[in-house]
Amino acid sequence: MRYTSSMTAEISEIARFLRTSAPFDGLDDAVLATLGRSIEVTYRKAGEIIIEAGSHNDKLFIIRSGAVELMLAGQELTARLEAGTCFAYPSLLRGGEVRNTTTAIEDTLLYALSAKRFHALRDSDADFAAFFAKDEAARLSHALKSRRSGTSFSLDEHLVGDLIASTSPVTCPADATIREAVALMHDRDVSTLAICENEKLIGIFTDKDLRGRVVAQGVALDQAITDVMTANPRTLGSGSAIAEAMAIMASGGFRHLPVLDDGGQLSGILSATDILSAIGNNAIDAGMVIAKARTQEELVAAAGQIPGSFVKMVTSGVHAGHAMRFASALGEACHRRVAALAQSELGTPPRAYALVVFGSLARKEQLVGSDQDNGLIIADDEGPLTNEENAYFAELGARISDLLDACGYVYCKGGIMARNADQRLTLSAWKARYESWITSPDEDRIMRATIFFDMRTVHGDRSLTQALRSQVIKLAADNSVFISYLARDAMRSKVPLGIFRNLVLDRGEDGAKVFDAKAQAIMPIIDIARTQALAAGIQQVGTLPRLRALAEAGRLNADDARSLEDALLFVNELRIAHQAYQVQRGQRPDNAIAPYGLSSLERDYLKDAFAVIREALDALRRNFAGGIS
């Protein structure tokens, strides 16, 4: 066929447009030129049906200009699409069966690609095929992999064992004196010594211990090294991800971690310097500064570094899961130091207690700008608290809440803070409170109480929190009515359909100008995981650990669990980038994302995430809410 100059110009224009539209932008020029010659151009007036539910389709449509609306079975709005987006490919993937009626809602110019060429492109180009995967879950998985492919060093793929493979730990016998241990450290030029007994690690001794526990305290050098070592230190398996090591160090405020092999034997000592050398940036230093703070003023200044550390992590390519874990680790370090300072000012507590956190910090999913959600669990094995004991814990709770507010963890608007009496209870009183919520649920109480079912100790006696959690898990798993109320509460979420013309599209609404990433996408996934985990008696607190545990236990389809995980991480990628941008500009971070700041590809994948969440909520309604939303 011979092409006239006008036809050639039109073919070039088609190729140019495709070059700016995903996923055609990943094809080479020769392929685009071929497509330009084969694409059919069609025009539809506003109100005209393009394809109808129940019919057979054999084309992929690309919107050149205008807009279309998709209605499931011609009745229920599923999407509105604008220029640069594609539609009708699901019907091509299932042999041509059309389920959505697509109507032009404006005068619309369309490019149509034959099913034959569409399938040929899917067969020849993996990225093209991944974009047009059969379901939203597969496309989301591809989206996450694509976003991360540019990161030069993956904290997921590299293990702590990789960083210590070329070194052997320097060990010292448990019966050595301090003098002998220090001489060994000098001879071997190491700052950390592993103390072993019968080839088993029992402690570590560092330069810091030498300065603080020996020299500063005037301890004689002929005393046993076991008197001044850090006994039973935190350890990590050699197969653990570097991200986990970073989070543990940042949370604990230390720079060295003993690494054990599969048999539980010491294989090396991982240092913060090892990690810094490998990845080029480090969240551990901020945790160290927090842990070293000796006064309230020093702690407030140290906590002021957290937003900057968060920005550095995000801009260096750290993934959403790691960014949440690191921000939570720094938050935990800050809460722990706050409690320690408050306790040192008031003196020895009259009873054992635990500072427990709720919500995002408990799940290790906190970002910057979060408020505080905490309480005190006080031991009552010695009977009711005396007036003096009550006064001590009231002052401790007040100091903790006030100092956290000064550190940037602002007062909770709902009053979930240790400064308030109803958040400062004995273990027995906490148990009674949870039992009341679980055995006598109603909509209002459940709506206010869901945050309390994500809890974790950050300071004090962990056994108190464990005793409470054990009872809560058992009671919840045995109470189907309570689980039903939890499921119904989750159904309150208004998950959008997608983004259209810089507005958030929802059924029956004109659209909002901003998308609340937390309320409209992240919280629904958290609610789904929490409800199903409590129903199954699963102990995990974090959303991702809950989803994985549910899949392992056979309580949630593994593909569904993975899809929800991908949706959570993808939306959090957008949310984290948004918050880092705000922090860099001196703004208080929030969750309100304006659609105009998203690329067309991000909008497509966001629509997929919404679909995954809505489907999971529907399953939650069917399985746990008795079909009532």
DSSP 8-state symbol, 587: P
**Strand-pair category, 266-271 with 353-358:** unpaired
Burial code of 187-217, b = ≥16 C-beta within 10 A, e = fewer?
A: eeebbbbbbbeeeebebbbbeebbeebbeee
Q: Distance between CA 341 and CA 295 in Å, rounded?
A: 7
Q: Distance between CA 458 and CA 334 in Å, rounded?
A: 10
Distances (CA, A) of 539 to 325, 371, 542: 19, 25, 10
Pick the CATH number of 471-624 from 1.20.120, 3.40.50, 1.10.3470, 1.10.10: 1.20.120
113: three-class secondary structure by DSSP: strand
Calculate mean pLDDT across residues 371-382: 94
Q: What is the number of other CB atoms lying within 10 angstroms of the CB of residue 321?
A: 21
pLDDT tens per residue across span 338-359: 999 999 999 999 999 999 999 9
Q: What is the pLDDT of residue 628?
A: 43
pLDDT tens per residue across span 422-456: 999 999 999 999 999 999 988 888 888 899 999 99
Q: What is the pLDDT of residue 242?
A: 77
42 pLDDT band, cuts 50/70/90, is very high
**Residue 62, pLDDT above cutoff 90:** yes
Q: Where are the domains of the chain?
A: 5-130, 159-279, 471-624
Superfamily of the domain at 5-130: Jelly Rolls (2.60.120.10)
- CA angle, residues 296, 345, 466, in degrees to nearest 5: 95
- CA angle, residues 409, 413, 419, in degrees to nearest 5: 70
Q: What is the number of other CB atoms lying within 10 angstroms of the CB of residue 461?
A: 19
269 pLDDT band, cuts 50/70/90, is confident
**Residue 102, pLDDT above cutoff 50:** yes
pTM of the model: 0.77
Question: In three state form, how does the secondary structure of 259-279 look?
Answer: EECCCCCEEEEEEHHHHHHHH
CATH code for the domain defined by 159-279: 3.10.580.10
Rounded to 5 degrees, φ, ψ at 96 are: 110, -10
Query: Do the domains 5-130 and 159-279 sit in the same CATH topology, yes or no?
Result: no
